[in-house]
Structure 1
Amino acid sequence: MPTAFITGATGFLGRHIIDVLREAGWTIYALVRNEDRARKLIGDGVTFVQGDLLHVTGCKNQLPDGINCIFHVAADTSTWKKEADQQAAINIGGTESMLQLCQELKADRFVHVSSTSVYGIHKDTVTETSEYRALYSWVSYARTKAIAERRVLDAVSRGINAVILNPTHIVGRYDDHNWSRMIQMLNEGTLPGVPPGAGNFANGRSVAEAVVAAYEKGQTGENYILGGPYATMREFLSLAAAELAKPAPGKPTPAFVLKAVSRVLSVGSAITGKRPMITPEEAYFACETVAASGEKAVRELGYREVPLEQSVKESITYLREQKRL
């Protein structure tokens, strides 16, 4: 059976990938900062390598010869400019460090998990051939992920066998702080407003299956968008409300209002040093309306686009199991 080395194993998507790898019989090594916490989240069947993403080559002696695939999933998803320097270090520097390790280990393949945010805002449906508009974005997350992708493509030109995956919004089990935050606020009646944006929603387990499938089926140097049903934020919240037996959400908050509120809150944040309730970056993503096509991934990786109702139900079921609703 093949051997994997994975970063971001304790995260939302990483835990799904661990499930898929374990079920397929892979030998799994996972880079973690806290082994005890990782063991509680992931369980058995994984060899934990304690280390730092930025200095991962120092962990080389803890890894065996013959790593078949490095799955680079870890990322800093902060949406607050105060954390931009750290985000750049992790998203760009961490990717560079992993690529160096891949070269030193002579791993067969490097699967890099990115995001559709690297493409920026497009009026037309985003595909793998769309322009990268996030390279100079004011939003740190989008910009650093786009630059990290460039580092991967540069490595491909040097002989690294890499594939890039670009998931859209991911919903499902194991979500502890992404879309689940909005679901919890909806359940508690504390949601400040309905975001006016829209996009594609991918299922966590389905994305993980495509990430693992990219090891064998992905084409070197190619991007694969992992899409799903297109829905407005209000439609997403309405599905969650129905599952929670809560009243349907009202009309979306106008984009200009949400953005103005975020700017005002940021002024206060600059004085207090505390993170605002809504950052300008969060307002940007909440107002974003972008459609993306996952046809290439469906065709070449066997990617499954899952109904949004199922993904929302999986997320809420998990939150109930964790006694967070």
Structure 2
Amino acid sequence: MVRVLLTGAGGFLGGHVLRQLVDQGVAVVALCRDDASEARLRDLGADTARGDLADGASLAAALGANTDSIFHMAADTSSWKLANAAQTRTNVAGTANLVAAARDAGVRRFVHTSSVAAFGRVEHSALFEALPRLGIESWINYERTKAAAELIVRDAGRSGWFETAILNPSHILGPGDRRGWARLFLMIDSGKLPGAPPGAGAFADVREVARAHVAAWRHPGNGESWLLGGAQATFLDLIGRIAAELGRPAPKRAMPLGLLKAYAKLSELASYVTRRAPALTPEAVALTSHNLRVDCRKAEAQLDYRMPPLEILIRDTIDGLRNEGLLQAR
């Protein structure tokens, strides 16, 4: 039986990839850091290994001598400046540590979850795979670290250490989310959403993104990358549809960008006193104020990637949150 190591298995997307691999008869070893996550991952059918991306020895032990492939899905998605140092350690140094451990263990293939954030914010074109990863020059640490991590993986593949496959998902919706875009649903449900940002995004189905990861693992070749976009919508439209499904009021128009920036700056300043992550940051405003478009034709052709309608993604996300008792709306 083929053995793979999965980082980030306790996360939203990682959990879906874990389930799909287990369902296909793959022996999955999930990297975990505590008893609670270990028990949960074992319940999903994975073996577990204690380890940390900051600890090269623990990664070597988790890989052992017979790991065929790695799915590296762990990442810090924070947009808060006070968390930048920790984010860089996880996204950049952690990836470098895992790449080195994979090289030393003789791993055959390294599947890396990057992000559309690695491209930076491209305003006048849909993203496609051949574009440069301008996130490396961004003032937003998340964009910068995702681009840097992707470069580390690419360089390893070019050096012949192992085969690489890189996936760049956009905004991911679907059942099982608690900390990603689910926060938007919860803010709408509780009436705490300050307003709709003026940008637009591409919204992907977590199950399709997970399926694309498994397909990319099985795809022949080295050094390929695939963009995984989805249903295009403005944030105003998205919020309106979520609110309608929840029976909550929705904003009639997007919040002026200047007002949104001021609100975020005040929230950020307050966070320096409270030492708690703000509800909105200048980085988050920038990420949701531009018009993201994603060309997914390569993934559609090579990975059989599919993009369900937005209403299905919204409904399934709400059903997932409701099943976990996280929504007030019935």
Per the TM superposition, whether the score is higher than 0.5 is yes
Among candidates 197, 201, 204, match of residue 202 of structure 1: 204
Equivalent position SS for 1:135 = helix
| Structure 1 stretch displaced more, 233-242 or 136-145 | 233-242
Tell me the TM-score normalised to structure 2 length. 0.94
Q: How does 1:89-104 map to 2 (within 5 A)?
A: 89-104=89-104
Match of 2:68 in 1: 68
Match of 2:129 in 1: 128
The alignment status of 1:156 with 2:157, answered yes or no, reads: yes
Instruction: Give the deviation of 1:267 after TM superposition.
Output: 2.8
Equivalent position SS for 1:193 = coil
| Whole-angstrom distance in 2 between the partners of 1:201 and 1:44 | 26
Instruction: Give the deviation of 1:227 after TM superposition.
Output: 0.9
> 2:41·2:47 contact (CA, 8 Å) conserved in 1?
no
Equivalent position SS for 2:136 = coil
> 2:50·2:58 contact (CA, 8 Å) conserved in 1?
no
Instruction: Give the deviation of 1:165 after TM superposition.
Output: 0.4
Instruction: Give the deviation of 1:63 after TM superposition.
Output: 4.0
Structure 1 residues 101-121: Cα deviation after superposition (integer angstroms, max 9, x where no partner): 211221110000000011112
- Structure 1 residues 42 and 309 mapped into 2: Cα distance closer, same or farther (>3 Å)? farther
Q: How does 1:273-288 map to 2 (within 5 A)?
A: 273-288=275-290
> 2:56·2:98 contact (CA, 8 Å) conserved in 1?
yes
The alignment status of 1:7 with 2:7, answered yes or no, reads: yes
Match of 2:117 in 1: 117
> 1:197·1:233 contact (CA, 8 Å) conserved in 2?
yes
Among candidates 219, 223, 226, match of residue 225 of structure 2: 223
| Whole-angstrom distance in 2 between the partners of 1:170 and 1:218 | 26
> 1:56·1:98 contact (CA, 8 Å) conserved in 2?
yes
| Whole-angstrom distance in 2 between the partners of 1:276 and 1:40 | 29
| Whole-angstrom distance in 1 between the partners of 2:18 and 2:222 | 23
- Whichever residue aligns with residue 102 of structure 2, its letter is C
Instruction: Give the deviation of 1:248 after TM superposition.
Output: 3.8
Equivalent position SS for 1:134 = helix
Structure 1 residues 39-73: Cα deviation after superposition (integer angstroms, max 9, x where no partner): 23661421110111121443433445332210000
The alignment status of 1:147 with 2:148, answered yes or no, reads: yes
Structure 2 unmatched runs, 5+ = none
- Whichever residue aligns with residue 224 of structure 1, its letter is W
| Whole-angstrom distance in 1 between the partners of 2:274 and 2:322 | 35
- Whichever residue aligns with residue 288 of structure 1, its letter is H
Structure 1 residues 76-116: Cα deviation after superposition (integer angstroms, max 9, x where no partner): 11110101011001000111111112112211100000000
| Whole-angstrom distance in 2 between the partners of 1:56 and 1:31 | 13
- Whichever residue aligns with residue 2 of structure 1, its letter is V
> 1:120·1:142 contact (CA, 8 Å) conserved in 2?
yes
Match of 2:78 in 1: 78
> 1:92·1:144 contact (CA, 8 Å) conserved in 2?
yes
> 1:218·1:300 contact (CA, 8 Å) conserved in 2?
no
| Whole-angstrom distance in 2 between the partners of 1:223 and 1:59 | 25
Equivalent position SS for 2:134 = coil
Instruction: Give the deviation of 1:242 after TM superposition.
Output: 2.5
| Whole-angstrom distance in 1 between the partners of 2:270 and 2:76 | 24
Equivalent position SS for 2:202 = strand
| Whole-angstrom distance in 2 between the partners of 1:35 and 1:162 | 31
Equivalent position SS for 1:192 = coil
Match of 1:33 in 2: 33
- Whichever residue aligns with residue 33 of structure 2, its letter is R
Match of 1:87 in 2: 87
Instruction: Give the deviation of 1:276 after TM superposition.
Output: 2.8
Match of 1:47 in 2: 47
Percent identity of equivalent pairs: 37
Tell me the TM-score normalised to structure 1 length. 0.95
Instruction: Give the deviation of 1:176 after TM superposition.
Output: 0.4
Q: RMSD of the alignment, in Å?
A: 1.6
> 2:41·2:48 contact (CA, 8 Å) conserved in 1?
no
Instruction: Give the deviation of 1:277 after TM superposition.
Output: 2.9
Equivalent position SS for 1:48 = strand
> 2:115·2:169 contact (CA, 8 Å) conserved in 1?
yes
- Whichever residue aligns with residue 239 of structure 1, its letter is R
Equivalent position SS for 2:55 = helix
Match of 2:170 in 1: 168
Equivalent position SS for 1:104 = helix
Equivalent position SS for 1:13 = helix
